[in-house]
């Protein structure tokens, strides 16, 4: 009982994805971005405005769902493209421009709404 106020949550269930034989999967290895690639903007519903500096996060949830997010990238010059993450499947869609969705929440009656405003 002397440790009751210090809960032990155990180890994280997350780790490297393994093959059926227990080896490391090569499909989901970390890939370093090019030296000139930069994250320009992060658009997520839990932030009232798009993030252009500092740290940000895209929230992933148990069961494979995530929040709708758009990550804008630059090649260090004028080139821009965006990675849009679909909330239900977690699949990514690449846009060949600096894409900004009208609404991440999809509320047609209040397209300017943010999760922060609710």
User: Residue-wise pLDDT tens for the chain (118 aa)?
Assistant: 455 566 555 665 666 677 888 887 777 777 777 888 899 999 998 888 899 999 898 988 877 788 899 999 998 888 899 999 988 888 899 999 999 887 665 555 665 555 555 4
Beta-carbon contacts of residue 98 (< 8 Å; ≥ 6 apart): 40, 41, 72, 80, 81, 82
What single string gives the DSSP state of each residue in 41-91? EEE-TTSSS-B-SS-----B-GGG-B--EEEEEE-SSS-EEEEEEPTTT--
pLDDT computed for residue 13 by the predictor: 63
pLDDT computed for residue 42 by the predictor: 94
């Amino acid at each position: 009982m002397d440790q009751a106020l210090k809960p032990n949550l155990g180890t994280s269930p997350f780790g490297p994805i393994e093959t059926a034989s227990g080896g490391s999967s090569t499909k989901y290895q970390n890939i370093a971005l090019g030296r000139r690639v930069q994250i320009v903007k992060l658009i997520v519903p839990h932030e009232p405005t798009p993030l252009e500096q500092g740290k940000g996060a895209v929230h992933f949830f148990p069961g494979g769902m995530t929040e709708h997010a758009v990550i804008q990238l630059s090649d260090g010059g004028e080139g821009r493209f965006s990675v849009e993450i679909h909330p239900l499947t977690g699949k990514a869609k690449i846009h060949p421009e600096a894409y900004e969705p009208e609404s991440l929440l999809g509320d047609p009656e209040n397209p300017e709404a943010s999760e922060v405003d609710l």
